[in-house]
Amino acid sequence: MIETRDLAKRFDNFWAVDGINLRVEAGQVLALLGPNGAGKTTTVRMLTSILRPTRGQAFVAGYDVVEEPAKVRASVGILTEHHGLYNRMPAMEYLDFFGKAYDLDLETRRARSQQLLQEFGLFDSGARRIAEYSKGMRQKLALARALLHNPPILLLDEPTSAMDPESSHLVRNSIRDLRSASRAIVICTHNLAEAEDLADQIAIIRQGKIIASGTPEALKKQYLGPAEYEVRFGATLNGQPINLPASARLCSMGQDWFRFQTNSPVEANPLILKSLLDQGLPVLGLYEIPRSVEQVYINAISAPQE
Amino acid sequence: MFASISKQVGGALIITRREVRDQFRDWRIIFPIIVLTVFFPALMNFTARRAVEFVERYGAPIVGDRLIPFLLLIVGFFPISVSLVIALESFVGEKERRSIEPLLNTPLQDWQIFSGKLLAALVPPLIASYLGITVYLIGVYYQVDWKPPAVLFVQVLILTLVQALLMVSGAIVVSSQATSVRSANLLASFIIIPMALLIQAEAIIMFWASYDALWWIILGQVFIAGLLIRTGLAHFNREELLGKEIDALNIGWIYHQFKDAFIGGSRGLFQWYRMEVRGAFIRLRTPILIMVLVSIAAYWIGSQQAQVFVLPVEYLSVRNPDQSLIQGLDSIRFFSVGGAGTVFLHNLRAIALATLLGLFSFGVLGILIMMLPITIIGYLAETMAATGLPPLTFFTALVLPHGVLEIPAILLTGAAILRLGAAMAAPAYGKTIGESWLAALADWAKIVVGLVVPLFLGAAFLEIFVTPRVAIWLLGG
């Protein structure tokens, strides 16, 4: 659905994006992470045929972003970093205007507008001017605009910024619902928990280059090492030795717990558990220590540049 | 075919309708339009009546007769002045508020958004203007029993339209160079000042009652508006609109772009001539052709003027110049290196002036300056023909000896200036306006430094040392 090959963009005297390779299949959500000015917005603008790549190629919904810009834009729904709403317009009229711009017929425009306003809890405010909307309402309206023409590609720049927790939850659920076999979604966000929650793939971009990419699990493994597990006991160990198989490594231990890392938990964990039970130790539980994408991001971003 | 065109135009009208509706929700636009449509024409009616009464009292009714059409023009102009504000707000205001980005993400094409906005900035003030004209005409009819001649009425309607078009297209070009309404307002003086001068010129024509001259004014404005619209369209593209975030002047980048284009890959003077100057010359083929055609036209215009501005034949005979004439030539620094230097410096000043004026007029004023000597040659050749001197002899004796270098230099300079202007109106594909313009400027510099300056230098020496001798030899019998 989205593919870029060595995509690059140069402004005046610097490369805003420098040789990005991305692939997002239908049904996938890619989170594009990176500090401000890393090149996320420029990448998104190239994917919507607004900026012309200086080098490389990009295909969106099967269309070349340089050769078929109108088709690309018709296939993309975009939530921009700045909402860019027309304050003097009522929301319903606003959506109708964009429906026309996307060449939707009257019936579809009305049906989609009403459906989306209802979905985002804005239906009762549909006749109010956008100037009267709160920040969160504006964000939801901008998202409704992006979804109006039911696009197969969604590019969402900070989809839940400025939203209260309830609205953020609503929007995240909507994005989950939007994930379908026929739709690819790219989210640019600074909210790493959100990225982890929603994304199948993560790409971290720094100074125009992708410095890390993969599934959240693969990135955790790459940047944080093998998965870490903790075993807790119902009583103190009193200096009893812990026997671990060769594939596991003891990381730390306390009075009634210890942690280990292993690359092959499927084989190692049952062996460890059996050994502990054979020793007559009162095992309460064995579980994986949760690790966040935030740690991955910090490690990746703070790593020295090649 | 028709359905396709209708759909394309429909896309533009989506923008127009939204913008016009938005304008009607903004009291800052509506209030002045209403005032200028209703109150101002009524005020002008009052002014007209008082003025007519006043001048009749002193036996000068002609002043009143001339004032009424002038006020008609002014009544039409004031509401359309709002179009400038609307256009700035529509183009740069939307850019500043970032509401342009969602619009640029739609499948609408650049030209559709551009034309939609242009129409939206044009139509409401124009309707207001025509309504104001109607109110004014009804008023003067009832108050001083004046009806405009049909041709004048049509001229004022067209003038109002082209003036609005000129201001809106100018505002669009200004907007494309600004990222905030504040900076656009500052740049808008580039529109307001020429428009004020234009209105003064029209006022003179109105008071002079040379209404036929208004057609030329209309034609000139249509031409400039066309160029500005072309430029606006070239600037109004997604890359330009969103690629520039701040109004920063990057001197370093400008210097490197120019230097790279000027020197290119050459490593010495010979290579520079072979690669860069030759390349620039090849790129100037079309402008050179245009310059040749314009020169022919300039010569013809000059020769036609000889019949309008006739010089007394008795003072013009250059046959058999005597010794005193040769001594006279000596006294005006002919046959001296200093004289050659003066001619050379004069030509350099002409290049500088032509380029400077060309920068602000898409090359048009620059070309006019470069064509001035050709027009004068045409005029003199025709005038001399009246004394019995065949144009060919005149040309061979007084022009050709140094013209063989000077005329190609003039054509090359004009062509380079034309290309500079064209780069503003139609940047090269895949390049920004800035990149295109700097490339054209580098070509101009290559042509001027590499060819024009040496040609002018040679021409100056020929003009000072050779031309007078050839003239004396040929004309002296």
Express each pLDDT in A195-235 by its tens digit. 888 899 999 999 899 998 999 888 888 888 888 899 999 88
Inter-chain touch A80–B98, beta carbons under 8 Å: yes
Q: What integer pLDDT is reported at residue A66 of this predicted model?
A: 92
Inter-chain touch A88–B102, beta carbons under 8 Å: no
User: In this structure, which amino acid lies at residue B242?
Assistant: L
Separation between Cα atoms, residue B157 and residue A214, nearest integer Å: 66
Q: What is the dihedral of CA B248, B252, B253, B254, to 10 degrees?
A: 90
Separation between Cα atoms, residue B430 and residue B445, nearest integer Å: 23
Q: What is the pTM of this model?
A: 0.77
3-state secondary structure A3-43: EEEEEEEEECCEEEEEEEEEEECCCCEEEEECCCCCCHHHH
Cβ contacts of residue B13 below 8 Å, gap of 6+? B116, B119
Cβ pair A52, A66 in contact under 8 A = yes
What are the structural domains of chain A?
2-214 (3.40.50.300), 225-294 (3.30.70)
B429-437: list long-range contacts, CB under 8 Å, 24+ apart. Answer: B430/A52, B432/B239, B432/B240, B432/B243, B433/B176, B433/B234, B433/B235, B433/B240, B434/B254, B434/B257, B435/B257
B430 close contact with A: CB closer than 8 A: yes
Residue from the list B26, B105, B108 with its beta carbon closest to the beta carbon of A78: B105
Inter-chain touch B102–A51, beta carbons under 8 Å: no
Q: Which two tokens stand for residue B30?
A: 């509506």
Cβ contacts of residue B77 below 8 Å, gap of 6+? B129, B160, B163, B199
Separation between Cα atoms, residue A186 and residue A229, nearest integer Å: 32
Inter-chain touch A12–B100, beta carbons under 8 Å: no
DSSP string, A81-143: SS----TTSBHHHHHHHHHHHTT--HHHHHHHHHHHHHHTT-GGGTTSBGGGS-HHHHHHHHH
Residue from the list A45, A49, A145 with its beta carbon closest to the beta carbon of B102: A145
The sign of the dihedral angle between the CA atoms of A187, A192, A196, A200 is: positive
Q: How far is A185 from chain B (nearest CA, A)?
A: 16
Q: Which positions in chain B touch A157 (Cβ < 8 Å)?
A: none
Find the residue in A nearest to B18 (Cα): A97
For residue A269, give Cα distances in angstroms to A231, A264, B358.
10, 8, 81
Q: How far is A201 from chain B (nearest CA, A)?
A: 25
Residue whose structure tokens are 């004020």: B196
Cβ contacts of residue B315 below 8 Å, gap of 6+? none
Q: How far is B364 from chain A (nearest CA, A)?
A: 30
Q: Which positions in chain B touch A71 (Cβ < 8 Å)?
A: 107
Q: How far is A128 from chain B (nearest CA, A)?
A: 14
Cβ pair A76, A153 in contact under 8 A = yes
User: In this structure, which amino acid lies at residue B475?
Assistant: L
Inter-chain touch A82–B101, beta carbons under 8 Å: yes
Q: Which two tokens stand for residue B104?
A: 């640029």
The C-alpha R_g of chain B, in whole angstroms, comes to 28
Report the residue of A60, A79, A93, A100 to disrupt the B interface, i.e. the one with the largest count of B CBs within 10 Å: A100
Residue whose structure tokens are 């919904």: A61
Cβ pair A141, A130 in contact under 8 A = yes
CA atoms within 13 A on the CB side of A157: 21
Q: Which positions in chain A touch B105 (Cβ < 8 Å)?
A: 48, 50, 73, 76, 78, 80
Among A8, A11, A43, which residue's Cα sits nearest to residue B250?
A11
Q: Which positions in chain B touch A15 (Cβ < 8 Å)?
A: none
Q: Which positions in chain A touch B239 (Cβ < 8 Å)?
A: 50-52
Q: How far is B331 from chain A (nearest CA, A)?
A: 56
Separation between Cα atoms, residue A272 and residue A233, nearest integer Å: 13
Q: What integer pLDDT is reported at residue A178 of this predicted model?
A: 83
B40-47: list long-range contacts, CB under 8 Å, 24+ apart. Answer: B40/B75, B40/B78, B40/B79, B40/B132, B41/B75, B41/B132, B41/B133, B41/B135, B41/B136, B41/B139, B42/B135, B42/B139, B44/B71, B44/B74, B44/B75, B44/B136, B44/B139, B45/B136, B45/B139, B45/B140, B45/B143, B47/B71
Q: How far is B95 from chain A (nearest CA, A)?
A: 9
Among B351, B354, B379, which residue's Cα sits nearest to residue B367?
B354
Report the residue of B106, B238, B257 to disrupt the A interface, i.e. the one with the largest count of A CBs within 10 Å: B106
Cβ pair A174, A163 in contact under 8 A = no
What is the tens place of the pLDDT at every residue in A8-26? 998 877 899 999 999 999 8
User: In this structure, which amino acid lies at residue B87?
Assistant: A
Separation between Cα atoms, residue A29 and residue A40, nearest integer Å: 15
Separation between Cα atoms, residue B396 and residue B474, nearest integer Å: 8
Inter-chain touch B239–A84, beta carbons under 8 Å: no
Q: What integer pLDDT is reported at residue B164 of this predicted model?
A: 92
Separation between Cα atoms, residue B427 and residue B133, nearest integer Å: 40
Q: What integer pLDDT is reported at residue B315 of this predicted model?
A: 66
User: In this structure, which amino acid lies at residue B343?
Assistant: V
Q: What integer pLDDT is reported at residue A224 of this predicted model?
A: 85
How does strand A209-214 pair with strand A201-206? antiparallel
Q: What integer pLDDT is reported at residue A57 of this predicted model?
A: 93
Q: Which positions in chain B touch A105 (Cβ < 8 Å)?
A: none
Q: Which residues of chain A have pLDDT under 70?
A: 181, 305-306
Q: What integer pLDDT is reported at residue B319 of this predicted model?
A: 57
Separation between Cα atoms, residue A293 and residue A219, nearest integer Å: 8
Q: Which two tokens stand for residue B373?
A: 């000597």
Q: What integer pLDDT is reported at residue B132 of this predicted model?
A: 92
Q: What integer pLDDT is reported at residue A1 of this predicted model?
A: 86
Q: What integer pLDDT is reported at residue B326 of this predicted model?
A: 61
Q: Which residues are A206's β-sheet partners?
A: A209
Q: Which residues of chain B have pLDDT under 50?
A: none
Q: How far is A96 from chain B (nearest CA, A)?
A: 10
Q: What integer pLDDT is reported at residue B459 of this predicted model?
A: 93
Inter-chain touch A88–B105, beta carbons under 8 Å: no
Does the interface predicted TM-score (ipTM) exceed 0.95?
A: no
Residue from the list B14, B97, B106 with its beta carbon closest to the beta carbon of A73: B106
Residue from the list B18, B100, B239 with its beta carbon closest to the beta carbon of A52: B239
